[in-house]
Structure 1
Amino acid sequence: MSVALVCAVVGFLLASQLQSVWANTQTDAANASRLETLQELYNQEMDKSEGLQKQLEQTQEELALYRKQASEGSAQGEALKAELDKLEMTAGLVDVTGPGVTVIMTDSTAVNATGDEADYIIHDSDLLSVVNELRSAGAEAISLNGERLLAASEIRCTGAVVTVNGRRHAAPYVIMAIGDSGTLYNALTMRNGVVDILGQWKIDVRVTASEELTIPKYQGAVEFQYAKPAESFPAAEEGVG
């Protein structure tokens, strides 16, 4: 009986050990497969990033060539160069400088025991409120934490940070805008304006007017997969009779 009992215990322990080894093997295999998948996704994103960087460099070289050709021409070439400069600034492809305001936004530290902590931190909607107010007041160029904002730029919460132009940023958030500094400043700090509203949640918003700011150009590549220039057709001739 003793031998049989010992054999049963040993058999049970061996079975448990084999089961544990098999489970660990399955887990390691799953982790290895997941790691391989993540590595492939990472390599794909790196290849895509490198491709976009090369495309951006090529586009910049072409723009430099067009600029040089336009500057070497006649009065018509000078007009084309001026138009090119305007389009580059509109598209955010060049650094710009001028008067404007700097807005520094910091999360509140005044969360009380009964309050919801989420109400006291900066969200994408708060940043959009400031950006939209600046645009409405005539801002000609805006950046957020060094990211040039274009028409296609996104500002959205991703966890505890905010994603802008595909890059993640955390507070404090620094918004710079070029335009009439007095108009921009008054638009943000007016009574019951966006600064007053954010101040109700003790979110620190500091607005400073400056005579000269520099906003960097957009660092990514602008691609259009679906949109294309619309064809223009001559107006149809009116029929007679």
Structure 2
Amino acid sequence: MRMNEKKRRSKGELAVVVVCAIVGFLLAAQLRGVKLTGAADAATASRLETLQNLYNELMDQKDGLADQVEQLQSELALYRDQAASGDEGSEALRAELDKLEITAGLTDVEGPGVTVILEDSSSTNVTGDEADYLIHDNDLLSVINELRSAGAEAISLNGERLLATSEVRCTGAVVTVNGRRYAAPYVIFAIGDPDTLYNAVTMRNGVVDVLSQWGITVKVTPSDLLLIPKYNGTVEYQYAHTVTPGEEEGEE
């Protein structure tokens, strides 16, 4: 009897030890999980704060650029008024200023031209690479370069006026133009002689033929009147400067 009681007591003590060990393990695991969760929450909060600060900085820069654009436009309007109130020489200056405004993209322009609409391919993927059937920056640049070579006087892409300093580049599945992201379809307006522009992009073995091989849809439509908005931004020159008469290259 005593032996049986001792065995039962030993088994009971062993069970208590096992239960305590399990409970201790569970408590340790729970505490570890709480610590990891707290660390993850802290890291997430830190990233959110960083992103918020970056967002605030970008918004401040945007507001500053908008104020700068408004100031420059006011100064430009003042110069135009001064030119308009002068003599024949001032009229010539005003005409030259108008041309420079168009070239610099500082004013809305309208005129005849063509509309080019590009859409991603809906063909069956036979290469295994989905990117082969999407429109890329080099596709858009091929169309834009053809239009420029054909005498386009003003071009826009999805409403963005294209300047000599404008970038058109892929950023993931979208294309960035003048710092803004756009997805397909891509709509290009080009002002110039409609027949010349149309023939330039639709000629045999031209850019439209090449893109159509991948099933990319390109629709080119002549138009009697297109409106292209002015460039909505600023252009700053840090290194380039004008050369005064008599100034030698490299002279300070």
How does the TM-score come out when normalised to structure 2?
Answer: 0.90
Corresponding position: 1:153 with 2:163: no
Corresponding position: 1:209 with 2:232: no
Cα distance, 1:225 vs structure 2: 2.1
The DSSP-based 3-state class of the residue aligned with 2:95 is helix
Residue correspondences, number = 235
1:53-107 CA distance string (max 9 Å, x none) = 0000111111111111110111121111111111100100001111111101111
Distance 1:159 1:112 in 2: 19
Structure 2 residue runs without a partner (length 5+): 1-13
Amino acid of the structure 1 residue aligned with 2:214: W
Give me the CA root mean square deviation: 1.3
Corresponding position: 1:51 with 2:64: yes
- Which residue among 116, 119, 122 is the counterpart of 2:135? 122
Corresponding position: 1:74 with 2:87: yes
4+ residue stretches of structure 1 with deviation over 3 A? 112-115
- Kept in 2, the 8 Å contact 1:107–1:172? The answer is yes
Q: Structure 2 vs 1, CA of residues 179 and 86 (structure 1 numbering), >3 Å: closer, same or farther?
A: same
Amino acid of the structure 1 residue aligned with 2:15: S
Instruction: Give aligned-pair identity as a percent.
Output: 69
- What is residue 180 of structure 1 aligned with on the other side? 193
Corresponding position: 1:3 with 2:16: yes
Distance 1:128 1:234 in 2: 37
Distance 1:178 1:43 in 2: 38
Cα distance, 1:4 vs structure 2: 1.9
- What is residue 17 of structure 1 aligned with on the other side? 30
The DSSP-based 3-state class of the residue aligned with 1:97 is strand
Amino acid of the structure 1 residue aligned with 2:20: C
Higher CA-based Rg: 2
- What is residue 84 of structure 1 aligned with on the other side? 97
Amino acid of the structure 2 residue aligned with 1:47: D
Q: Structure 2 vs 1, CA of residues 234 and 49 (structure 1 numbering), >3 Å: closer, same or farther?
A: closer
- Kept in 1, the 8 Å contact 2:125–2:133? The answer is no
- Which residue among 107, 117, 140 is the counterpart of 2:153? 140
Cα distance, 1:226 vs structure 2: 2.2
- Which residue among 82, 94, 105 is the counterpart of 2:118? 105
Amino acid of the structure 2 residue aligned with 1:132: N
Distance 1:60 1:40 in 2: 30
Distance 2:192 2:125 in 1: 38
- What is residue 238 of structure 1 aligned with on the other side? none
1:131-181 CA distance string (max 9 Å, x none) = 000001111100001000000101111111110000011111110101111
1:179-212 CA distance string (max 9 Å, x none) = 1111111111111111111111111111111122
